[in-house]
Every structure is written in structure tokens, then in C-alpha cells.
A and B are shown apart, each in its own frame.
Chain A
């Protein structure tokens, strides 16, 4: 099992990638958010047996990862952690749906296996798109983009606050957790009673910290809004980015690209 410190480090690493300075990083965050949402909806709207239709969509994460210089192996590891959950729910499909829908040579493949594979492929696609979005944009910029797209301001402030203090409090949580681990032998003192008062202590410290933070913020003239230094504008590059990718996603969704390609090749052969 991975430790809290490890998770936290991982968390910081993903966000640190957003400090890069490539063409993708410089795009207006709104463009990236919109394209990612179009991507997710197009991927998810594919029918459950349309495995081949999903494959062209890999172009988007691959392009983003390469153009934005994101370490692909790091991303692949993060995706691999999530996939078991999709596999767990999808693994019943081959058992329940046994009708043969596909023949490869003499081998008949049942609908369940096709839909199972499509669930896993979808999971890879959607998970990678979310991670790529954070890696090329950064969380504060995503919040700013969402706020300018109509997200209520208190929620945006809440997200930024949360983000600001996650690191502080998770470190505190990790300390508490480590302290307990060093003091408990053979599972003693690891039950719910100790856990309750431990989390309670964390809660109290959090609460007191919130009070101090609030006073400090008032002293500095906080009036309910965060101000960011970076200004973005939605220019020609952003429009091209959004239109280009959306067009590609919708085309890939409506036209069976993979099949066309396949019949072209098998036709030639």
C-alpha cells in the first residue's frame, strides 16, 4: 500500500507539470477545458460494442502528451492505478453477454468481451484526458476558466482555498498517521476508537487554523474574491484549437475511421 507522503508527492508532481511553457500550456485554459469535455462526451457516447470507433480518439491524449512534453510513463502509471476499478465492474460483461458478435478467423468473440474491452478502453481515454488537462493547465487555471464560464464564484473560491490547504493539511495528516504507526505494535491501537480521536484532533487543529487564516485574511483586506495575476485571452489559436479538435472528435464519432482504413487495406491485399 502506498503511503500518504507518496500520494502527496505524486499530487505535487502532476501539478508541477503545469508550470511548463509549451504552446499547449500557453493556450487559454477555457479552450482546454472545452476540448476535454467535448472529448469525454464523444468517447462516452460510443455504443458499447463500438470498440474500433474508440481507437482514433487516442490521437488526442497522444498529441497533448507529446506536444506538451509530459512524461508519458508517469502518466501511464497513474492511469494503471485507476483501471482496476473499471475492470471490476466490467468483468461481468463476458459472463452475462455471451452472444457472438465478432468473428476473427475461426474464433468467435462474444458481445461481453467486446463491451468489456470497450469499457477498459474508454476508461483509459477518459482518465488520461482528465490527467492531461491538469498536467497542461494546472488546477488554479482550471478553476479560473470554469469561473469565467459561469461557475458560481463562492464555489470557485472554495476550490482555490481547498487547493491551497490540501498540501498543508495532508502533510499534517501524514505526520499524525506516521506517529500512530510508530507507536502501534501488532495492530494494537489501530482500531476505530483511536482513529476517531485522532481524526478529531486533526479536525480541531484544522478548525483553529481556519480561524487564524481568516483573521490574517481580514487583516489583508480579503473581500470574498481571489485575484489572479495571469490574464488569458481567447484568440485565434484557441478558436482553432477548439474547432479543430471538436471537428476531429465528432468526425471520429460519426465516421468509422478504423473500418474504412481496414477495408481499404484488406481491399488492396
Chain B
């Protein structure tokens, strides 16, 4: 479910960065205010636990394939939403930096899809509702399963939306959603079973851990909901501002909706920062009509004309790469003697 930088536009990536950064700031303030000293090392070590646990795979019976724990829901059950969110965010950041899972710009999206959704949407709005204050075994199992499945439907849905809004991949919304959602339904069920297995085991071995975490949580449901609304408002605002200030046509949302409904088969990507950049590029470019054309003026040229320019494009590309790697090579050669 990790998104990659390569499929994101700066407007979408930046918006999700803003949302996730806001949520991190909020969670940090909350964790600091709770002043539970024990929580700080616990969060760190549980992050490392999640990291280790994700590396251990289990076989999925009868398929021959294997999977691993996602862990967002489990951590929310153990630590409460804000601490869990910080923990998952930190794990995702390490994965982005060391394994390049996703990427730096996509980090905001990934934190939202895999951290914010389980910790701030699914856990308080689904899990605690279904489980109640002192759940019995059946209720616990039901609440965990439902939450895991919902969380793993919402996350991939966001992946699809973020990809479609970015417009780098040509996959239309409906096709992409049809690819993603059913697979993640299965993954959600497995995630639910695994989480249930872990929770019941821990419940049997150290019963104080799970209710203890739940007791720490209801520090006030209302302020939390207010913040949720504020974060969403901020998200929409940032999205609007980010795409609005640069966009030629101000109704970015309308465009997005038209695209989601699948009205256009071939997405037009001229929006937000892209539009600003291409507009700038048109002004500053020495050769305004070169071979690789933008969506706007595509196909309106005769073949002989574009043959010449695209040849120069290919030659130029090869030359650029040659110069880049040659300079690296020369640097490498030069340094030992220097």
C-alpha cells in the first residue's frame, strides 16, 4: 500500500504532507500533554516491534503466498490514537528513508493512508463504538475484524484517489479501484485475524495491557472530534489553496469530480503546479514547440515537423545522460590523485 513519488503530483503530495504534518503536530502536543513518561519509550520500542513484526511473514493457507502484519489498528488499541499515529508515522519515515518504500514526497500520503486512517478514523469512530468500554471476547473479535476490514478499504481508496488526482498514471479511477479494493478486502480480513490472534494472546498472558491502554484513551471525545473536523477543514483548505493559487481554472474540485466519475478516458493533467510550471516553461523556453508535447497542444502538428524536433530531443537526452555520467566518472577518477 506504499505509494511512490513517481506517481504523485506536487499538489497532491504537498497537500497530504500538510495534512500529515498537522496531524503529527497535534499528536505530539497531545502526547506531551498527557505527560505519561512511560509512554515515550514504550512508543519507540513498539515502533521497533512493528518494524520487526512486519519482517516476519506468515504463509496464507492454500495460496502459497505470504503476508505480514500492518499494525496500525493494533497499535491504536495498545497506545491510543495519537501515540499510535506518531509511532506508525515514525516507522513509515524510516521505511521511506532506508528502503525507499514510497518516497519523500509520498511520505505524507503514506502517513495518512496507513497512520491517520487507522488511528484517527477507524479506531475512534468504528472500533470503540463496536467494542464498547469493556468488551467481551466476541465483541472484541467482531470490533477488531470490522475495523481492520474498513481500515484496509479506506486506505487503498485513498491511494487510488491520490494517484488519480495526480494524473501521472493513465489508469482511470474505476479500473484502479476495481484492482485495489477486492485485494485489500482479503488483506483486511487477514489483518483482522492476525490482530485478533495477537490481542487474544496478549489478553490471556498480560490482561492489564489492553484495558490499560483503553483507559488512557477517553481523555475527552469532544475535543478530539473538534480537532478531526479542524484537520479536515485544513486539508481541504490547503488542497484548495495549493491547487488554486497556481491553477488557470479555479475550479479544481469540479475537475477532480469529473475525473472521478470517469467522464474523461484520457486525463488532462494541466492543473495546479503543473499548470504553473508549464505556463512558466512556455514563457522561458527557448524552443517552445519541441517534440514531447503537452496535452493541450497534442496532435496538432504535421509529422515531418515533429520528426525533426523529436530527433533532437532523443539526441539531446542521450547527450545529457552521457555528460552527467561522464562528469561523475571524471570526478571519481580525479579525486584519488588530488
Contacts and interface: CB of A to CB of B under 8 A. Distances in A.
Interface of A: 4, 7, 11, 14-15, 36-37, 40-41, 43-52, 55-56, 58-59, 62-63, 65-67, 78-79, 82, 85-86, 89-90, 92-93, 96-97, 99, 101-105, 111-112, 114-115, 118-120, 122-123, 126-127, 129-131, 133-134, 139, 142, 151-155, 157-166, 168-170, 172-174, 176-177, 187, 190-204, 206-207, 209-211, 213-214, 217-218, 224, 253-267
Interface string B194-233: 1011101110011001000000000000000000000000
Contacts of B168: 48, 115, 118-119
Interface in B15-59: 24-25, 27-29, 31-32, 37-38, 40-49, 51-53, 55-56, 58-59
A169 B31 CA distance: 24
Interface in B271-322: 273-274, 277-278, 280-281, 284-287, 290-295, 298-299, 303, 306-317, 319-321
B42 A214 contact: yes
Contacts of A122: 5-6
B93 interface: yes
B320 A258 contact: yes
B157 interface: no
Contact of B52 (A202, A260, A262): A202
A58 B319 CA distance: 12
Contacts of A93: 169-171
Describe B's contact surface by its main secondary structure.
helix
A90 B292 contact: no
Interface stretch (B121-129, B254-262, B325-333): B325-333
**Is chain A's binding surface mostly helix, strand, loop or mixed?**
helix
Contact of A52 (B171, B313, B335): B313
Interface stretch (B83-91, B134-142, B148-156): B83-91
B148 to A, nearest CB: 13
Contacts of B315: 261-262, 265-266
24 contacts: A40-B105, A47-B274, A49-B294, A52-B314, A62-B325, A62-B327, A82-B101, A90-B6, A96-B171, A97-B170, A102-B306, A112-B170, A127-B5, A154-B28, A157-B44, A158-B40, A166-B47, A196-B193, A203-B46, A210-B41, A213-B41, A214-B42, A259-B313, A261-B316
Interface of B: 2, 4-10, 13-14, 24-25, 27-29, 31-32, 37-38, 40-49, 51-53, 55-56, 58-59, 61, 69, 86-87, 89-91, 93-94, 96-101, 103-105, 163, 167-172, 175, 190, 193-194, 196-198, 200-202, 205-206, 209, 265-266, 269, 273-274, 277-278, 280-281, 284-287, 290-295, 298-299, 303, 306-317, 319-321, 323-325, 327-329, 331-332, 335
Nearest to A213: B41
